[in-house]
Amino acid sequence: MSQRFPDVQGGGSLIVAWQVKGKNILVVGGGEVAAGRILHSLNADAKVTVVCPKSGLNDEVAFRVAQQQISHVDRCFEPHDLDGADMVLSAVDDPATSSRIWQFCKERQLPANIADIPSECDFYFGSMYRDGPLQVMVSTNGNGPKMASIVRKKIADTLPQNTGAAIVNVGKLRKKLRDVAPDISEGPKRMKWISNICELWTLEELVKMSDEDMDLVPTFYDANIVPSFDDIHAKSDASNFTSQ
């Protein structure tokens, strides 16, 4: 075959955006690593329970307990703590305890991450950059967390500061377009049309898109026309002139 397909590169991870909103995440431990895991989980709107003696909580975890952002079990881990959990994040310094938690999770088929033991992880935490709805994760597949942080910072430095705002506006526009063309069969056309808008408009134009602009853009959809930012404002000016 003349067509060339991508080469398979084994040894990677399947990087996905795991939706845990409303799910129960159990965090074992209360130190710095646990604090990072907790923040990631709360940012994803999960329900978090921390199992750790009160004396082992660092300032950040103690603050989240005091603010009732998370539930706290003031003792060391016990197997029944896994009851009702959808995911387990272990962040304790005791390797024997960590491996024991991993075995309990395997018996219950619970997805788990055991800090600092890559071989006992169903998934890894990468270095995360966040700007509103934009999330960029860099993973080294457990080989070098510090390197992931360095690469993430370099990527973040190349992104315009208003990228998140542009994405928010595109999300709003997608919802308006679904109202104009709600039929499921329109899905591929909608996706292609929105993609063309994103490619045609500059980031600055996407950020500047007003609610009025968002109402006008979908009016070009039925004609299968991808309007430029100037087209939208020309139509807006004409509409305003007519209404005067």
Catalytic residue among 116, 183, 213, 230: 116
Q: Is 116 a catalytic residue?
A: yes
Biggest CA-to-CA distance, the chain: 77
List alpha helices for 29-144, DSSP H: 32-43, 59-66, 95-108
Report the C-alpha dihedral over residues 38, 43, 45, 47, rounded to 10 degrees: 10
DSSP, collapsed to helix, strand or coil, labels residue 72 as: strand
Residue pair 235/216 in contact (Cβ under 8 Å)? The answer is yes
Residue pair 143/120 in contact (Cβ under 8 Å)? The answer is no
Distance CA 135, CA 33 (A): 20
Q: Under 8 Å CB-to-CB from 7, ≥6 apart: which residues? A: none
DSSP, collapsed to helix, strand or coil, labels residue 131 as: strand
Which residues are known catalytic residues?
116
